[in-house]
Amino acid sequence: MFLPTSKQDMQEQGIEQPDVVIVTPDAYVDHPSFAMAILGRFLEKNGYKVGIISQPDWKNPKSFLELGIPRIAFAVSGGQADSMVINYTAKKIPRKEDRFCEDGNPFFSRKGEGKKYRIRPDRTIPVYCNQIKTACKDVPIIIGGIEASLRRIAHYDFWSDKIRRSILFDSKADILIYGMGEFPLLETVQALEKGVLPEDIQIPNTAVIRKDCTGYEDAVFLPSFDEVEASKDSFAETWNIFEDNDDRNVLIQKYDTRYYIQQPKRLITPEELDYIYDLDFERKPHPKYKRIPAFDMIETSVTSHRGCYGNCSFCAISAHQGREIVSRSRESVLKEIEKIAGKKKFRGTISDIGGPTANMYGSACKSGGCTTHDCLKSGDGCRNLVPGTKEYISILDDALKVSNVKRVQINSGIRYEHCILEDDSLKALIERYISGRMKVAPESGSDRILELMNKPGTKIFDEFYRRFLSACSETGKKIILTPYIIAGHPGEGQQEIRETMGFLNKYRLSGAQSQIFTPTPTTRSTAMYYLGYDPVTGKKTPSEKDRKKLEKRKTELLNSH
């Protein structure tokens, strides 16, 4: 049974009033790869009545009251990704597809059905929250998801080309949850139910607005919004403080006469992760939808872990999921695979077992963890890094033994450094789990740009390529390497473009997938783009900002081999 999405659903399930209403611009898919499903099922498991308002007509405030007024709170998300990234290309051209909408159609109305406007509004969270406040002023609003995580402090916004305030201020919401939100959301709902005022909440992974910061003398203070807006040096200082803090201490930033106060993070445990993914899901879209393209990709996929210590400068994963790897137990992963394989329509293929980076499953640290999380150390690997790839391969092997499972594929990213992908594991992946193409992400063929990206140099790829050819020869497999390349990363000039072209030609990398660098809030690369220099090293990083020229550069890279 799906979580209720209408008054009729509520009546059929015996619910008079929901405790929490989750509002999302994505189609409701009851699958553990979709945040609204995980959060809803998690709250439900802990005794709360939860409703889902999926893709409300955001121009009509009443559409947010479709399930009535929730007893405790609204929980608002911007969706599976930042709304501006989903709505616009790197050239700021509106996209004609949204994979989280029915049939990929991003508009409410189809041709001939009157005025057409997007299902997912630009800057979804502020739009939703302001409409909810218009319709229902007195119920607290909790915001979360990646859009909230990336925009929680003063940040540079590529689409408006200016410094914007924390999304907590722009949305007029009461509480912000950053990172993975199951337990913070539950604890916040419990606190509100007990009558705790939003501004008094001090739960890990939350942030609130207060009129003063009394009692937080030991907190980490960022330059104020006015300072960040007025000075690029203050922006750089803010970025470095935020990055160095890594959500370990209370963080405070002043806005006019008020303060953004963010509590430290709380790391989830493997046992808690098992508990979350052991919840019951329908594992399909709500019946009111015919087809959701994003679901087609992940229907038979399994999340094995969260987090990524790759620390790539352009990637937003660390700001949302964190740098620490938290892995599910073997038993929990296999239990989910058995559930999938037991479905009537299962065709025999598990499409993925992984996370942000597949072969980081089971990784650990001999020292118990550090503050830098630079585990890959430019490709050589930290001496304290304990790779979990052998355990990961073992789980893949066991998945193949599950009844009805004929094939297991890996579609999550794979890091190719030897310190995390040993020869035996590489051979096993190629022999049994890579079908036709192996996706790798060198991102550039210029060592200078790779250094700015915090990626391993080209010599590491050269080492991997030799190992890859050897593994293909030993297994008799013909596998094509498909590289991901970013065009227009800060610091890239004609010399670096020529180096990348030479790199692609040297390794005969055909079918390269190239994308234009898109600055997303909070990342180091975005700071480089805005500042014109690397906030960490101070090195100049001029960026080509003419999007037409960048499109030409992307085409040159794709055609160079």
- Looking from the CA of 54 toward its CB, the CA atoms found within 13 Å total 26
Return the domain boundaries, the chain: 7-262, 436-561
Give the single-character DSSP code of 118. Answer: B
Q: Starting from the edge strand earliest in sequence, which strands make up the sheet with 141-144, in order? A: 50-54, 20-24, 73-77, 141-144, 175-177, 206-210, 258-262, 251-255, 220-221
Q: Which residues contact 332 (CB under 8 A, 6 or more apart)?
A: 273, 274, 277, 278
* Tens-level pLDDT at each residue, the chain (561 residues): 999 999 999 999 999 999 999 999 999 999 999 999 999 999 999 999 999 999 999 999 999 999 999 999 999 999 999 999 999 998 899 999 999 999 999 999 755 555 689 999 999 999 999 999 999 989 999 999 999 999 999 999 999 999 999 999 999 999 999 999 999 999 999 999 999 999 999 999 999 999 999 999 899 999 999 999 999 999 999 999 999 999 999 999 999 999 999 999 999 999 999 999 999 999 999 999 999 999 998 999 999 999 999 999 999 888 889 899 999 999 999 999 999 999 999 999 999 999 999 999 999 999 888 877 888 877 889 999 999 999 999 999 999 999 999 999 998 889 999 999 999 999 999 999 998 888 899 999 999 999 999 999 999 999 999 999 999 999 999 999 989 999 999 999 999 999 999 999 999 887 667 889 999 999 999 999 999 999 999 999 999 888 788 888 887 777 766
Domain over 436-561 is classified CATH 3.30.750.200: yes
Phi/psi for 315 (5° steps) reads: -95, 140
> Is the whole model's pTM more than 0.85, yes or no?
yes
Q: Please, what CATH class does the domain formed by 7-262 belong to? A: alpha beta
